[in-house]
Amino acid sequence: MSSPVAMGERLAASAAASARRSAGPPRSPLPGPPPGPIAQSVAIGFRSVYLAAGLLALLWLSGNIREIAPDAQAVVRRFGSIVRTQQSGLLLAWPRPLEEVQILPGPQQQLSQDVGALEPPTQQSQALIGPSAGGGGLPADESAYLTGDGNVVLLSATLIYRIDDPIAYALSQRHVAAGLQRLFRASAVHVTAGRDLNQFLVVNNPAAAGSGRVTALRAEIRDRLLEDINGRLQELVRAGAPLGVHVERVDMTAWLPPQAKSAFDQVLVAAQSADREVAEARTDAERRRQGAAQLGEQLVASAQARAQELVSDAGVDTAGIVALEREETPMTRKSLLLQQYRGRISQIMQRVGAVTLVDPKSGARFVMAGNRASPLSAPAAAPAPAANQAPGSQP
């Protein structure tokens, strides 16, 4: 209940109001005293608070109005649920916490993901890879894989990818890095199991490392890895767990384990030494072959010259006989033979020292002296028969 004082005040106020209405229009009141400094300070403070509140409200309302760069894209969440995406340009969204804007790389921007190293599961694996990661010229993120020919190769890879589904990427962004690493390892196990070591590293024939065939094999392995990784990403999409990315390129480097590298280096040194010795032997054989060919050519040339000389001598020796044969006729045959006989006997007699003539019928003999004294002739030879001696008589 209201107090009597309050009731009195209300009655007095109503009476005053009735009196003013009966008295006519009110007259302008007299100006009151100006406000004090405290009142002015309070008024200025309230005005400043109102102005600051207005500015803060304006900033809050325009907090999600922003420009999206050409190489970026935005995902808009309303109360935690994705409502839309927007590419480059001006973005208009409700302020937080009504809507939140997540900026992602654009679909044309390429991102990189290094594949980390797997922890060796056993001590044998640790001994195979090496005691210290990153030592001996090896990177710190290499992992061991078994090839189809029973060898081990260390692979270090970097995946180059882009975002093709921003909504899926925004939902699974925390799992993209781990998912890409798992996909690469699964694809690498599948690909290396169907290849031999020489398709990753040229260990048997280092001279062919820069050939076009080896380069084509490296490109084929990278393409096969890329195809397998993207195929597994599509399987995740069909399973309802997309990552929202597409791998564009695989940069991969292959290494040999330290122990295998030392063994292959020794084999390489031995192979190079054997190749050097084979090359020296081939050089020596070629030098000997050239010397034998040169000697053979000299012998053939000498034999041909000797043959030509013999042919010439034979031609000279037979020239008279050939001429005689050409001049021979049935009428002149005996006279030509007699002439040749006498000419040859004369030449023979000029060369011999003595001639012993024996008659085949009677056995008589006599010695005819020549131009030179014969060492075989007797010192006291029988005198030549007289001109009138008979051919069959003794001297």
Rounded to the nearest integer, the mean pLDDT of the chain is 77
CATH 3.30.479.30 residue ranges of the chain are 111-256
In Å, how far are 145, 181, 182, 247, 364 from 234, measured between CA atoms? Answer: 24, 16, 15, 11, 132
Mean pLDDT check: name the lowest of 84-88, 184-188, 294-298.
Answer: 84-88
- The answer to whether the beta carbons of residues 250 and 157 sit under 8 Å apart is yes
Confidence (pTM) = 0.55
pLDDT reported for residue 230: 94
Rounded Cα distance, 323 and 343, in Å? 15
- The answer to whether the beta carbons of residues 167 and 101 sit under 8 Å apart is no
- The answer to whether the beta carbons of residues 157 and 115 sit under 8 Å apart is yes
Model confidence over 204-215: pLDDT tens digits? 555 445 556 777
pLDDT reported for residue 183: 93
For residue 346, what are its two tokens? 């004369």
Mean pLDDT is highest, among 35-39, 76-80, 116-120, 291-295, for 291-295
Q: Give me the residues paired with residue 365 across strands.
A: 358
Mean pLDDT check: name the lowest of 63-77, 123-137, 259-273.
Answer: 123-137
Model confidence over 25-48: pLDDT tens digits? 555 555 556 667 777 777 788 788
Mean pLDDT check: name the lowest of 53-57, 180-184, 247-251, 348-352.
Answer: 348-352
Superfamily of domain 111-256: Band 7 domain (3.30.479.30)
- The answer to whether the beta carbons of residues 185 and 225 sit under 8 Å apart is no
Model confidence over 81-91: pLDDT tens digits? 888 888 888 88
